[in-house]
A and B are shown apart, each in its own frame.
Chain A
Amino acid sequence: MIATAMSNGAKADAKPAAEHDIKITGRDVRVFYGDKEALHGVDVDLRDREVTSLIGPSGCGKSTYLRCLNRMNDTIAGCRVTGSLMLDGKDIYDKSIDVVQLRARVGMVFQKPNPFPKSIYENVAYGPRIHGIASSKADFDAIVENSLRKAGLWNEAKDRLDQPGTGLSGGQQQRLCIARAIAVSPEVILMDEPCSALDPIATATIEELIDELRENFAIVIVTHSMQQAARVSQKTAFFHLGNLVEFGETRQIFTNPVDTRTQAYITGRIG
């Protein structure tokens, strides 16, 4: 799989793969903040059970792109998205799509751990509760345990489920946020620099976790750490000044980039 970067508008030509394998297809995605165009036509295909990392210098539009995928941009006044983004063949921006349901299918983990100021249990149970996924106490207990286990937090949290989530350490809080996201059984998980507020050990834990979660979810992760992208992702997209410059196999991007800008970035000359 080779990505060809074009001089303007960066068309990444993902080679057609087995149809069921592609989770989200994006074509010519442009984002405007007021009159300013922040993303200039981005084409990316995200596959199921695969980690895609978005890299690039600060302000290049990684977060903006990520937030298109679960329509978090809707909450920003004056933000407009054009182009097409298909989740399982259905347009995410179609009028018939309910944002609330979309966000249940496309979960998100933020840069700064942001647990609710409620108990650990409530943090995880909140999503299932508002979506009506579970009804009995036993169901909730099962979902909470299962999600915390998947997020690798069960052993540390099982004895303090009724204590506030904000009382955990930074790394634990971030894993709690991951547990909260997977509690509603999403299909895609978006992570915006999930480790940037964490120490190296907590980071390593989260990276292992991402690798395990890959078995069940499509994951998109924004990161500033090239090593992290190389360690956890199978695909990498390099953004620069609102353009998708290059998109392809992580190994290829890091060892044999096609575009000179990519090369300059991964060798530390832009950024």
Chain B
Amino acid sequence: MTDIAADSFSITSSDARARNARALDSSRLRARYGAEKRFRVYGAAAIVFGLVFLAWLFGSLVIQGTGAFRQTQIRVAVELDAGELGLSGTPDREALEKAEYQAALRASLRKTLGVGSDRGERRDAYALLSNGADLEIRSRVLADPSLVGKTINLWLTAGADVDTMLKGNISRDVPENKRRVNNRQIAWLDKLAADGRVGRHFNANLFTKGASSDAELAGMGVAIVGSLYMMVVVLLVALPIGVAAAVYLEEFAPRNRWTDVIEVNINNLAAVPSIVFGLLGLAIFLNVFGMPRSAPVVGGLVLALMTLPVVIIATRAAIKAVPPSIREAALGVGASRMQVITHHVLPLAMPGILTGTIIGMARALGETAPLLLVGMVAFVVSQPATPFDPATALPVQIYMWAGASERAFVERTSAAILILLAFLITMNATAVILRRKFERRW
């Protein structure tokens, strides 16, 4: 208002008066406010739209996935009878490792459920528990050999179908011949539940075990370790090379056609589809250098190539953001160019460099396509001891589980996605915190 008043005060021509009068015209004013309001509504609607989809995604993941973090277990009184275990005298460790735990477990289970000698009945009874249940007893006994001869109450992992049914994902109303858990088994489960022998506990297998065709024994342990190895390789390869390249380009390279070409290509490289890097890795690391298939070190190298341009670009931006006055100050007291870089420019650019690197690594962590080409889609049961042993990766594990039709695997797929997202969010949050913490120190 004061603006307009001042205007009309200084401009005296009738033209200007007319213009001011028009500007003040209430219908134009209303139209302007209306346009502003509409624009704000569109913006808010777009955000709500995005949030709804995000909530939907997270909601369905959480609803489907949380079940996988808890696993049904059945408490069985296991008689560790030396005879049944095939042990005699004072067994040594080797004998304990090879003992007949399955026989002992099955005998105890039959006793608990009151199963006779019918073959079909026995098979149904054994199917209540996981194939790996005897190994759980074994590890107990190995940890404490004095248990032999005693009867212990143990929570043992239930079979995947039992687990699925007890989580309500197999209905009892389905006709028996189409149901994966038959009436006899349901009757046993009801009785066990009434005795307080059925419970749900934290599913440690999910975080420690490797691939298995039995859903209750399948875990992402191998994938987590594989991804971890790959991230270490990415960090060790992409960070030093990327920083060195960026420092050279920013501080030493002459400005000419060649450096322009390099600059354009680095930017292009950052936009190259990741599968192309996978093909490159296949051609170079596997075919030329003969590196092992499915090894995290190869996957890590491929991801490092992919992350390199991101690190270079982030580092160059961070170096550019260091104020010239700091360089001048250092040069002014007689620091050499190298000293200016190592004492001042890099320390000040470090938060930016790390932020860029973490974001690049987060992208690499979620990358699947290039890993498929270097053989990371593998059925790996045991934990890789070194980065040269076969392993899988988190997103690849998701990809593999997503292909399985069993309900228990669907649940695990969602759980795996949640875990991957948790890693990604942690990394990105670290990047944000770093940036906030070190923002503008001069």
Contact = CB atoms under 8 A, between A and B. Distances in A.
A108 interface: yes
Given A114-B325, A116-B344, A166-B442, A72 B332 contact: yes
B334 to A, nearest CB: 4
Contacts of B325: 110, 112, 114
Given A116-B326, A117-B442, A107 B332 contact: yes
A110 B441 contact: no
Given A117-B348, A117-B442, A130-B339, A70 B333 contact: no
Q: How large is the interface on A (under 10, 10 to 19, 20 to 34, 35 or more residues)?
A: 20 to 34
A131 interface: yes
B16 to A, nearest CB: 37
Interface string B336-376: 10010001100010000000000000000000000000000
B438 to A, nearest CB: 10
Interface stretch (A20-28, A87-95, A98-106): A98-106
Contacts, number: 66
B329 interface: yes
Nearest to A166: B442
A249 B189 CA distance: 108
A184 B332 contact: no
B326 A114 contact: yes
A32 interface: no
Contacts of A70: 332
A100 B336 contact: yes
Interface residues of B, number: 20
Given A116-B344, A117-B348, A117-B441, A100 B326 contact: no
A77 interface: yes
Interface string A163-182: 00010000000000100110
Contact of A184 (B327, B328, B333): B333
Contacts of A183: 333
A117 B332 CA distance: 16
| Chain B interface SS verdict (over half) | helix
A103 B344 CA distance: 17
A126 interface: yes
B442 A130 contact: no
A75 interface: yes
B329 A177 contact: yes
Contacts of B255: 77
Contacts of B441: 117, 166
B335 interface: yes
A103 B329 contact: no
A100 B330 CA distance: 11
A97 to B, nearest CB: 13
A242 interface: no
A132 to B, nearest CB: 11
Contacts of A72: 328, 331-332
A115 interface: yes
A9 interface: no
Interface in A130-183: 130-131, 166, 177, 180-181, 183
A57 interface: no
Main secondary structure of the interface of A (DSSP, over half): helix
A103 B328 contact: no
Contacts of B343: 126, 130
B335 A116 contact: no
A107 B328 CA distance: 11
Given A117-B441, A117-B442, A166-B442, A127 B333 contact: yes
A115 B334 CA distance: 15
A103 B329 CA distance: 11
Given A77-B255, A130-B339, A166-B441, A116 B334 contact: no
A102 B343 CA distance: 20
A184 B335 CA distance: 12
B334 A100 contact: yes
A130 B332 contact: no
Most buried by B among A112, A114, A180: A114
Contacts of A166: 441-442
- The residue in B255, B325, B327 that gathers the most chain A C-beta atoms within 10 A of its C-beta is B325
B336 A116 contact: no
A188 to B, nearest CB: 12
Contacts of A177: 329
Interface string B415-431: 00000000000000000
Interface string B294-324: 0000000000000000000000000000010
B40 to A, nearest CB: 40
Given A130-B339, A166-B441, A166-B442, A107 B326 contact: no
Nearest to A177: B329
Nearest to B337: A75
B376 to A, nearest CB: 43
B339 A108 contact: no
A131 B332 CA distance: 13
Contacts of B328: 72, 108, 110, 114
A99 B335 CA distance: 9
A110 B344 contact: no
Contacts of B331: 72, 75, 103
A177 B329 CA distance: 8
Contacts of A102: 334
Nearest to B335: A130
Contacts of B323: 114
A184 B333 CA distance: 8
* CB-based closest 10 A-B pairs: A103-B334, A114-B325, A127-B333, A108-B332, A104-B334, A114-B329, A117-B441, A100-B334, A117-B442, A100-B336
10 contacts: A75-B327, A77-B255, A101-B334, A104-B333, A110-B332, A115-B329, A127-B333, A127-B334, A130-B335, A180-B329
